[in-house]
Amino acid sequence: MTDGPTPRGAKDRPLPIREERLAAVGRRHRAPRSERNPLRAGLRLERMPDPAAIVLFGATGDLAHRKVLPALYQLWRSALLPLDVRIVAVGRRPYDDTTFRADIHDAVTAHARVQPVDEETWATFAERLEYLRGDFDSDATFDDLAGRLDAIDREHGTLGNRLFYLATQSSAFVPIVRQLGRVGLDREVTGDGWRRIVIEKPFGRDLDSAQRLNREVAKVFREEQVYRIDHYLGKETVRNLLVFRFANLIWEPLWNRRYVDHVQITVAESLGVERRGAFYEETGATRDILQNHLLQLLALVAMEPPATFDANALRDEKVKVLRAIVPLTAAGVARDVVRGQYDAGWVAGEPVPAYRAEPQVDPESETETFVAARLTIDDWRWAGVPFYLRTGKRLPKRATEIAIVFRDVPHALFRGQASEPEPDLLALRIQPDEGILLRFGAKIPGLDVDVRAVNMDFGYGSSFSVDSPDAYETLMLDALLGDQSLFTRADEVEEAWRVVTPIVEAWVAGAPPEFPDYAAGTWGPEAADSLLARDGRRWRRI
């Protein structure tokens, strides 16, 4: 299953071990069932999951088309899905298997990471796609699903292993979970395979709703079966943050309040709400990004080294960080949190409308499209070090970055400079130009002793010359393998809401905001700059 012609003489050369195994799995993709025994005889990739049926709820929706199904196709193309895999798509649209497969072919053509689509590979993947039409609150839908899955086990050897993926609106989570419990699709019986459920964000709208949702899920599934997905945790550079911190001793002595002045975490988007105005009106930047992505990045930066590299050890340390974040009072929200909403402006040289002029948005909307916050962590390592978090739509560029800004030297030995040297800085770029930048002072060549900041810049693309997997590829594969390391636990979700809920409640109880308060194409409202300026700091220019 290689792309392009085979180099002359290549068939005479032995393949490297990984390529040989990939080729073997690729050949088995097209082999009849009677010839598939080698897969169970040990000829399998280290990351090859067990045979399974994947049930995708909301399969006709935007998320499934843009992310989930292209990721599954890419895993199949990379020989990282077992031959005995079936995907049952559940949706309300009047499709059958043929029309659904044609629809998903278009989605994969538009969104798959590797292009063009390999039609031979697609054909074998499409054979494993089937469609079940039904409503998520209908008993008949789930009765049919249970029967369909039993038949798949018998006919395709999926061994009772089932992964349920909820790519639906959050209002459908509880009805689907209850129905799965009603028909017994949650139950794991010895020798009858595993059952797991992946739940998309938003996981609740505040602390109370998140707790209620956790209770409803826990009535049906054990915590070990639940995979709450935050796709940022599947990004290659986010995962590398753990390696950067804990596989390199050089940073650990500096990673604390003694040497770090402050931390900035930015998730910037140049796009507006696109066609998701109704969704964004219910969510806003605080629920959409701050509660999950930003707090997850903060936890990874601030966590202590885990005892082992397993799911619970990692998540235990993240939960400790979230619990140590100092709660915000109403006065604290007014002082340390800034919200904004974009007005008309220019992005990438093109005029763009105000948020209130977007489709499906209230013309007098009070929904925030920007939020910045100053948080502190009350623990031994980080006491007194402010963490500045910001996210917004219609900012000048798309960028996600973690910036560790170090303290000034205690004694300014090189005085009388033409300009004040910038503090040392370590920046971890999550997207789009993945890499790590280290800024430090160096002498400018010449007779005088002049100091200027210089950069050492590491880029993933130039250093490894490989195409990183999409976050959804990583997370789908981990869910099939039963690895919860990159998924959030129930208590982790609730602790994040404990931080964010007082912010939302203070805004609801307070005076209406003076929106819009920043032009599209700028870095947010002036109050966000003042948030740092009062501490004698400023946002890093990205």
Angle between helices 311-324 and 490-509 (to 10 degrees): 30
| Residue 293: active-site member | yes
pLDDT-based confidence at residue 421 (cuts at 50, 70, 90)? confident
The torsion of the CA quartet 275, 277, 278, 282, rounded to 10 degrees, works out to 140
Annotated catalytic residue, options 29, 105, 231, 293: 293
Query: Residue 347 carries which side chain, given as an amino acid letter?
Result: V
Predicted pLDDT of residue 420: 66
Going from the C-alpha of 314 to that of each of 74, 296, 310, 473, the distances in angstroms are 28, 12, 6, 21
Residue 5 pLDDT > 50, yes or no? Answer: no
- 233-411+486-533: in CATH 3.30.360.10: yes
| Residue located via tokens 């699709």 | 185
Give domain 10-200's CATH number out of 3.30.390.30, 3.40.50.970, 3.40.50.720, 3.40.50.1100.
3.40.50.720
Per residue in 140-175, pLDDT (tens digit) is 999 999 999 999 999 999 999 999 999 998 899 999
Task: Retrieve residue 379's tokens.
Answer: 């623990």
Query: Residue 76 carries which side chain, given as an amino acid letter?
Result: W
pLDDT-based confidence at residue 7 (cuts at 50, 70, 90)? very low
DSSP structural state of residue 287 = I
Task: Retrieve residue 460's tokens.
Answer: 């993933």
| Residue located via tokens 């079966």 | 225
Instruction: Give the H or E element holding residue 163.
Output: strand 162-166
Nearest to 169 by CA among 141, 214, 205, 222: 205
Q: Find the range with the poorest average confidence among 73-77, 302-306, 459-463.
A: 459-463
Residues 216 and 225: their CA atoms lie apart, in Å, by 14
More confidently predicted of 462 and 114: 114
> Could you tell me the sign of the dihedral formed by the alpha carbons of 289, 291, 293, 295, in that order?
positive
| Residue located via tokens 């009072």 | 329
Query: Domain residue spans in the chain?
Result: 10-200, 233-411+486-533
What global pTM score does this model have? 0.87
Predicted pLDDT of residue 416: 61
Phi then psi dihedrals of residue 426, to 5 deg: -120, 120
Per residue in 172-226, pLDDT (tens digit) is 999 999 999 999 999 998 778 999 999 998 899 999 999 999 999 999 999 999 9
More confidently predicted of 444 and 69: 69
Percent residues over pLDDT 70 in the chain: 89
